[in-house]
Amino acid sequence: MSHPGSNVAPSKEVGTVDAIALARMAADAIADKKGQDIVLLEVGDLFVITEVFVIATGNSRPHVQALADGVEEFLKEAGRKPLRDEGRPEAEWVLLDYGEIMVHLFQPSSRDYYDLERLWRDAPVIDWTPAVSDAS
């Protein structure tokens, strides 16, 4: 039972904050493996199934596979495993579904063809800046 004046946010708000933090972690993992053109879209108000899309490009099949491996390793350390993993053998478009976020990893031609940013152009872009690497 909650009482008036409670500071507890509605569950959707809490989920969104967690989803954005998780999406930024996935983006950091992609950046760490030299993924390109990383975009985070807040799709929760437009798409019932998930809150955030993380979209990125790898330059080859092995690179996209390495990006997927990097995201899985990084998020596993945070106690998260994908609910679904599709497209890894061909790696034209790999989807890692974590529930509140979906990570879309493309080779350049597939990213151009499917153009998720155009399809979801009404979704707000989430501000994200790659962490500065110590190796730089």
CATH value at residue 100: 3.30.460.10
For 21-63, the pLDDT digits (tens) are 999 999 999 999 999 999 999 999 998 899 999 999 999 999 9
- Give the full edge-to-edge strand order of the sheet including 52-57: 36-42, 52-57, 101-106, 93-97, 84-86
Structural contact between residues 22 and 74, judged by C-beta atoms closer than 8 angstroms = no
d(CA 4, CA 133): 46
- Exposed, middle or buried, 76 (CB in 10 Å: 0-12/13-18/19+)? exposed
**Position 101 in a domain:** yes
Q: Is residue 128 part of a domain?
A: no
pLDDT of 130 reads 86
Domain assignment of residue 4, yes or no: no
The answer to whether residue 96 is domain-embedded is yes
Q: Is residue 133 part of a domain?
A: no
For the stretch 59-94, pLDDT in tens is 999 999 999 999 999 999 889 999 999 999 999 999
Tell me what the mean pLDDT of segment 14-22 comes to. 72
Tell me how many domains the chain contains: 1
pLDDT, residue 133, reads 56
pTM: 0.84
Evaluate whether residue 94 is within a structural domain. yes
Q: Which domain holds residue 26?
A: 12-119
Q: Is the pLDDT of residue 3 over 60?
A: no
The predicted structure's pLDDT at residue 14: 38
Nearest alpha carbon to residue 67 among 101, 37, 46: 37
